[in-house]
Structures are given as C-alpha cells and as structure tokens.
C-alpha cells in the first residue's frame, strides 16, 4: 500500500504518513547517523520546509514514528486462560519480529535508542504502552486464581517478549512458532512458581 | 589499564591489543558506519600499513575483537546446584551488561551485527561459545535429577541471559542484582516444569 493511501484524514495526515514511512525505511537502511530531514522530505515526496516546520529534527520524527506505532498496535487477547493469553502475546511479538519490515525497524529503533536519548525515551514509551495493553491478562489470571496474588503484571508481559527479542538481536535468527510457544510456556511456569511476585507482596504475605 | 599492558607477548600482541581496544572505543562512539582502518590505526597509535596488512577490513577487526572476547571470558560456575549455577551465570551476564564499557560494547556489536553479516556471524560465535561454556551446569543438573531428561542445555543457558539483554536493549536500563535473581529463578522454574525439554525427547519418552 502506498503511504498516501494508508490512512484517512486529508493532506496533513498524508504528509505525516509519508514522512514516517520514509523515516522507517531510511532508519533501516542508513541507521541514525545517516538520517537528515532533507533526505526524509525527498524520500517522502514532501517539501523540505513542511518537514522542518512540522518536526524540526530527526529525533522528533522518530518520536512521532513511535507514537504512530503505539496508535496502530493490536489490542490484547482475552482467551479466558493465562496460557492462551500469553501464547497470543508471544505469537504477536514473534510475528512482528519476523515481519520483513517490522523486525528490521524495531532492531533499528533499538540501535538508534542506544545513541539518542530522545529516541530511547520514545521507544521506552512504546514498550511501556504495549506492556500496559497486555497487563490485564495477568491481573485476570490472578483474579481467576491461576497466579499468586502480588504477581507483577508488567514483569510477566516483558518475560514473554524477552527470549524472542534476545534471539533476534543476539543470534540474528527470526523467532518461529515453536520459539513463541516456549516463550509463553516458560513465562507461565515461572509466574505460577511465584517468580514474578513483587518483593513488597512477598514481605506482607 | 593501558592497552599495551593488558596482555603479555611482545609487539604483535601489543599491536593487536591496542587495535582491538581502539575498535571497541570507536564502535561505541561512532557505530559501524563511522569506523575505518586509518582511524583505528590513529587511535591505537599503530602504523596504518600494519593495520591494513594484519586485518584488511573493519569487519575483520570486529571479528578479531569478538575472538578476543571469547578467549578472555570467565569459566562456568560449579556451585553443586542448578539454582546456584544459574544465579552465577545471571550475575556474570548482569555485571557484564552493567559494566560501563562492556555494556555499550555489546550493544554496539549487536547493532553492528544487524548491518554486517560477518560481524553477525562472529557475534553469534561469541554467544554460542559462551553458551557452550555454561551448558554443563544444565547437564549436571539433569544427571543430579534436578531437571527432566531431554532438557536442552543451550536453551536453558540462553533463557537466563534473555531478560537481562531485553531490559538493557529495549528499556535502556542496566539490569541490577534483583533482575539477575529473577532471571535465574524464572529459568530454573521453567526448566523444572519441562519447558526446555526438546521436542524429540518428548516424543520418545
């Protein structure tokens, strides 16, 4: 789908969409040091002045790219069981990381974040938002008696993603369905064993 | 410690040590696109001809840097229990990632690997070597009856590292001792639950 067709809402929205798509492409190809606003304007087919006026800097474009990723992300699953919900989460993360555009884009953002504090803050915001969307899977599991009281929802959700990101980033291999199953099962087993109960909850129980 | 004092063995070893230290520094500061052999020679205080003759390319220097990391890495722990060994492994990974030089260097290598196949191969070799060093902790635990037969040693060892790398790379926060404890405990609980038993072992049991 061409960028200018990917979202409704007139010229401003079309410009944003084109520039963010160009920023993702350029980040994957060139990395943060290779990005500049004139190049993004050229790739997006948008006037330089528009890009300078609207965003002002490359990190501001990347922050907006991350905001767009948050806005367009999938909702949580609600399968009725912890195992089902964590597997759905693992499968979503796996399919995102294995996607030929999303995987390299997330890798490039992780690397840009290592070099730029603004991008790091934005990317942390993305992961915090994604984690928050899935936290009710854990609180529901606690309410159903599947997990011990005091289990930290964010810790459980992050534990599902961790081995899938680790595999992609340190070994360079895209996680497959078996990896997603294992990530979900390992997290569920650890959560049932009480590993993700907060230190505070332990002390007061 | 100055690079020229960090290893014994004459001029060849001193040159290698200085160039690899310079490569690590430059990779952290500039990333892969900013590296060239002339700059590494300048930083290392070594003749350009020597660097060109010995390594020939930036990726070759990075591959040698990774080889050096493998050669100088710590041995496995042998505490007599799975929990103790996994905690020692988690603590080693944590202290490496939290180290003000090693953490940024590993991050920079992960990002260089995303852009260069040779660096990716070398880095995968590093992680495979480190995993292999710690695998006996798992086979010993299976032999002691602490873990089910058919548990995949490499999967268990990688599971310890995953949340610590994930935290550093996606949230930009250095893992602390509590994170290391949780990484070890989560992995041990999942391993005891049979999550890391290979599919082949499951079928034949």
Q: Are residues A66 and A159 in the same domain?
A: no
Residue A120 has pLDDT above 80, yes or no: yes
The predicted structure's pLDDT at residue A33: 84
Q: What share of chain B is helix, strand, coil (3-state, %, to 5)?
A: 75, 0, 25
Considering only alpha carbons, which residue of chain A is nearest residue B195?
A186
Question: For residue A182, is it within any domain?
Answer: yes
Q: Does A133 touch chain B (CB under 8 A)?
A: no
Q: Does A165 touch chain B (CB under 8 A)?
A: yes
Q: Is the pTM of this model over 0.90?
A: yes
Q: Are residues B105 and B41 in the same domain?
A: no
Query: Considering A70, A98, A116, which residue would you say is the last residue of a domain?
Result: A70
Q: Are residues A42 and A91 in the same domain?
A: no
Q: Are residues A24 and A104 in the same domain?
A: no
Q: Are residues A149 and A89 in the same domain?
A: yes
Query: How many separate domains does chain A show?
Result: 2
Query: Considering B70, B102, B122, which residue would you say is the last residue of a domain?
Result: B70
The predicted structure's pLDDT at residue A4: 46
Query: Considering B70, B101, B121, which residue would you say is the last residue of a domain?
Result: B70
Q: Which residue in the set B104, B114, B163 is minimally distant from A162, CB to CB?
A: B163
Question: For residue B41, is it within any domain?
Answer: yes
- Distance (Å, whole) CA A70 – CA A100: 19
Average pLDDT over residues A188-203: 92
A182 contacts in chain B (CB < 8 Å): 155, 195-196
Residue B47 has pLDDT above 60, yes or no: yes
Residues B18-36: tens digit of each pLDDT: 999 999 999 999 888 889 9
Q: Which residue in the set B33, B165, B195 is minimally distant from A166, CB to CB?
A: B165
Q: Are residues A54 and A82 in the same domain?
A: no
> B133 vs A153, B105, B143, B158, CA distance in Å?
34, 21, 17, 12
Q: Are residues B141 and B179 in the same domain?
A: yes
B186–A196 C-beta distance less than 8 A: yes
Q: Are residues B40 and B116 in the same domain?
A: no
Q: Does B110 touch chain A (CB under 8 A)?
A: yes
Q: What residue numbers bound the domain in which A143 lies?
A: 75-204
Q: Are B117 and B32 in contact (CB under 8 A)?
A: no
Residue B2 has pLDDT above 80, yes or no: no
The predicted structure's pLDDT at residue A205: 57
Question: For residue B1, is it within any domain?
Answer: no
Question: For residue B3, is it within any domain?
Answer: no
Average pLDDT over residues A174-200: 97
What whole-number percentage of chain B has pLDDT above 70? 95
Residues 6+ apart with CB under 8 A from A169: A107, A110, B110, B114, B165, B169
Q: How far is A5 from chain B (nearest CA, A)?
A: 30
Residues B116-146: tens digit of each pLDDT: 999 999 999 999 999 999 999 999 999 999 9
Q: How far is A38 from chain B (nearest CA, A)?
A: 20
Question: For residue A2, is it within any domain?
Answer: no
Token pair belonging to A52 = 């300078």
- Distance (Å, whole) CA A196 – CA A153: 8
Considering only alpha carbons, which residue of chain A is nearest residue B192?
A189
Residues B153-200: tens digit of each pLDDT: 999 999 999 999 999 999 999 999 999 999 999 999 999 999 999 988
B31–A170 C-beta distance less than 8 A: no
Measured CA angle at B95 (ends B4, B197), to 5 deg: 120
Q: Specify the higher pLDDT residue, A33 or A39.
A: A39
SS3 A200: helix
The predicted structure's pLDDT at residue A203: 72
Q: Which residues pair with B197 in a beta bridge?
A: B151
Question: For residue A200, is it within any domain?
Answer: yes
Average pLDDT over residues A63-86: 95
Q: Are residues B36 and B83 in the same domain?
A: no
Angle of helix B102-115 relative to helix B10-30, nearest 10 degrees, comes to 80
Question: For residue B5, is it within any domain?
Answer: no
B123–A186 C-beta distance less than 8 A: no
- Distance (Å, whole) CA A113 – CA B169: 8
Q: Are residues B121 and B187 in the same domain?
A: yes
ipTM score: 0.93
Question: For residue A169, is it within any domain?
Answer: yes
Q: Does B193 touch chain A (CB under 8 A)?
A: yes
Q: Are residues A65 and A79 in the same domain?
A: no
Q: Does A187 touch chain B (CB under 8 A)?
A: yes
Q: Specify the higher pLDDT residue, B185 or A72.
A: B185
Q: Which residue in the set B34, B120, B190 is minimally distant from A186, CB to CB?
A: B190
Residue B46 has pLDDT above 50, yes or no: yes
CATH number for position A179: 1.10.357.10
Measured CA angle at B79 (ends B78, B80), to 5 deg: 95
Considering only alpha carbons, which residue of chain A is nearest residue B181?
A195
Q: Are A148 and A194 in contact (CB under 8 A)?
A: yes
CATH number for position A56: 1.10.10.60
* Substitution target from A112, A160, A189 for chain B, most B beta carbons within 10 A: A189
Residue A2 has pLDDT above 60, yes or no: no
Q: Are residues A40 and A126 in the same domain?
A: no
A158–B163 C-beta distance less than 8 A: yes
């Amino acid at each position: 789908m061409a960028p200018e067709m990917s979202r409704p809402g007139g010229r401003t929205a079309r410009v944003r969409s084109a520039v963010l798509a160009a920023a993702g492409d350029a980040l994957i190809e060139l990395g943060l040091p290779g990005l500049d606003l004139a190049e993004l304007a050229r790739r997006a087919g948008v006037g330089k002045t528009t890009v300078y006026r609207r965003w002002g800097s490359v990190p501001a474009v990347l922050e907006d790219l991350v905001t767009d990723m948050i806005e367009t992300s999938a909702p949580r699953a609600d399968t009725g069981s912890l195992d089902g919900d964590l597997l759905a989460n693992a499968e979503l993360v796996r399919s995102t990381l294995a996607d030929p555009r999303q995987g390299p884009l997330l890798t490039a953002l992780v690397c840009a974040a290592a070099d730029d504090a603004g991008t790091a803050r934005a990317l942390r915001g993305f992961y915090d938002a994604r984690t928050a969307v899935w936290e009710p899977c854990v609180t529901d599991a606690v309410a159903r008696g599947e997990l011990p009281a005091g289990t930290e929802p964010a810790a459980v959700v992050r534990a599902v993603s961790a081995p899938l990101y680790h595999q992609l980033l340190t070994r360079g291999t895209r996680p497959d369905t078996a990896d997603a199953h294992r990530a979900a099962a390992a997290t569920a087993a650890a959560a049932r064993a009480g590993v993700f109960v907060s230190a505070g909850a332990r002390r007061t129980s």
